[in-house]
Amino acid sequence: MSLYPYKFKTIFKDKLWGGEKIKTILGKDFSPLPNCGETWELSGVKGNISEVSNGRSQGELLTALIDKHGGDLLGKRIEAQFGKEFPLLIKFIDANDDLSIQVHPDDELAQKRHDSFGKSEMWYIMQADKGSSLISGFSQEVDRDSYQKAFDEGKLEEILNREEVTAGDVFYLPAGRVHTIGKGLLLAEIQQTSDVTYRIYDFDRTDDQGNKRELHIEESLDAIDYKKYDQYKSPYLDKQDEAVNLVSCEYFKTNKLHLTGDHSVDHSGLDCFKIYICLEGSGSLVTSEGREEIGMGDVVLVPAAIEHYTFETSTGTTLLESYIDK
């Protein structure tokens, strides 16, 4: 059976801080949930395995595709590195309220404590309400002791770096970086396959039962990178009709494609799948197997064995392109 570009059923997540933008902007109906904070668009996380929604393999799970096609789907080098586990997780996040202040462990700590990958991630801001902001890293030099002192005195936010953001902004958040997504932001998230989060502070919120969410204050201390960095936003120069790199790290590489017309792709030397996230506009992904229509909010997995294909668009489209580089 020939491989083709795969789409998957959206997995909707009800969150305390979720809103309506998944439906009103991305056009994804999350009923009967009261709101939706996250969608998982491509996931190999246990208990949340994505299901194919298009073509001959409709109804099959991502794990079954990997079992059946192995290196033809993932790439031989990716299969050798990760086995049968899909290494990336793709989400959309709608923050109708601030998310908790949190941190994720790196590979070593996550493996030791949770038998899991660590969680390095990136955000692409798709839409931002006026004055929206987020937290990424520290605004001043701290160490474990001074951090603990600020936390104990209720002054945590005073030492964190908060930035106003607008649509098109990009942030890379390596494991260990304290962060939160602020109210009013809709974003695409690309991350390692992991669901390990240490919640540091949750603004004393309660659920509809009056219960506060669990915090992981002690666990987080060993996970935090206490260093202050000069820049937290990832700079890039937007260009048309060529791949513009946004983030390159050992876990993934992500480019932005702002297409005004047809665009051909050749990844014959890559030996890895590619993931495309449609940020705006529409078009078609054309392979030797046929044509797949894409529109805003769609996520498509192109198997490693499909090395040549073309995006066709008459109205223009903007895509994120993610894969694991050599």
Catalytically annotated residues: 199
| Ranges of the chain with pLDDT below 50 | none
Distance CA(52)–CA(40), nearest Å, equals 13
Structure tokens at 225: 């990178």
Q: Looking at domain 11-221, what is its CATH homologous superfamily? A: Jelly Rolls (2.60.120.10)
Closest CA relative to residue 277, chosen from 60, 39, 65 = 39
**So what's the pLDDT on residue 206?**
79
Task: Answer whether 322's CB lies under 8 Å from 272's CB.
Answer: no
* 159 contact partners, CB below 8 Å, separation of at least 6: 138, 139, 140, 142, 146, 147, 150
pLDDT of residue 204: 83
pLDDT for 295 equals 97
Dmax over CA atoms of the chain, in Å, equals 62
Q: Are 324 and 251 in contact (CB under 8 A)?
A: yes
Give the torsion through C-alpha atoms of 172, 22, 320, 70, to 10 deg.
Answer: 100
Tell me whether the CATH fold assigned to 11-221 matches the one assigned to 243-323. yes
Q: Looking at domain 243-323, what is its CATH homologous superfamily?
A: Jelly Rolls (2.60.120.10)
Taking 3-state DSSP, the helix, strand and coil percentages for the chain, each rounded to the nearest 5, stand at 15, 40, 45
Domain coordinates in residue numbering, the chain? 11-221, 243-323
- DSSP annotation of 85 reads S
Q: Which residue has the tokens 């294909």?
A: 309
Residue 207 pLDDT: 76
- pLDDT for res 210: 81
Six token digits for residue 148 = 């603990």
pLDDT at 16: 87
Amino acid residing at 260: T
